[in-house]
Amino acid sequence: MYCRQRHEMCPWTPQKTLRAGKANQVSHGFGAMSEQHEDSDVYLKRQIPDGEYIASYEGYSTATMFSQKTAKVCLRFRIVEGPRTNTLLERWYSVGGLYGPPGENGKFKAKGQTSRMILEFLTCCPDATIDRLDRIPMTNWRGGLYRILVRTVDKNHERLKLPHQVRYSTIDCVLGRFD
């Protein structure tokens, strides 16, 4: 799938957020979270203007969704520049499977060597080497600033138009490191 705005390879998948402190449960919130409410799943997610932002990597977690059938990895980024500073955004990837219980810094296996997760990882960390799909060095994300492309979700999974009150922002793709 291609990014709508940049015509680059970029994923477009619905994204769900983990409830704070409860790795096995999934909330119904999506996308951007305000700094004061990021630990709660009762608040609606924020909508911020579409476009490119500079963000820092905050960490990752694993989860299972859709009746424990789909394994996912969530990377969290925090915007560091401009009027949207401190807005937390998430980037979700489908993975081949989880090793051990889902949660913060969980173990996983990527779907394949050309999966979106691997492509974005190697774009952002070009010096990294990957020999096995279950040994991706997630520590390479630490300490860097990244260019992320944010879009507004305006349709639900049934392609029904969302009212403006419940639209939310999500990371469309991680474009690369910010130099």
pLDDT digits (tens, 9 = 90+) for 54-103: 999 999 999 998 877 889 999 999 999 988 999 999 999 999 999 989 99
Residue at 11 is within a domain: no
How many other C-beta atoms lie within 10 A of the C-beta of residue 30? 20
Residue at 107 is within a domain: yes
User: What is the Cα–Cα distance from 174 to 92, expressed in whole angstroms?
Assistant: 11
Q: Which is more confident, 21 or 47?
A: 47
Residue at 101 is within a domain: yes
Residue at 7 is within a domain: no
Domain span at 132: 18-177
Whether the model clears a pTM of 0.85, i.e. scores above it, the answer is no
pLDDT band for 10, please (50, 70, 90 cuts). Answer: very low
Residue at 2 is within a domain: no
How many domains, in total, are found in the chain? 1
User: What is the Cα–Cα distance from 44 to 56, expressed in whole angstroms?
Assistant: 23
Residue at 48 is within a domain: yes
Q: Which is more confident, 21 or 76?
A: 76
Q: Which is more confident, 27 or 48?
A: 48
Residue at 12 is within a domain: no
Average pLDDT over every residue of 101-120: 93
Residue at 6 is within a domain: no
- Quote the pLDDT of residue 40: 57
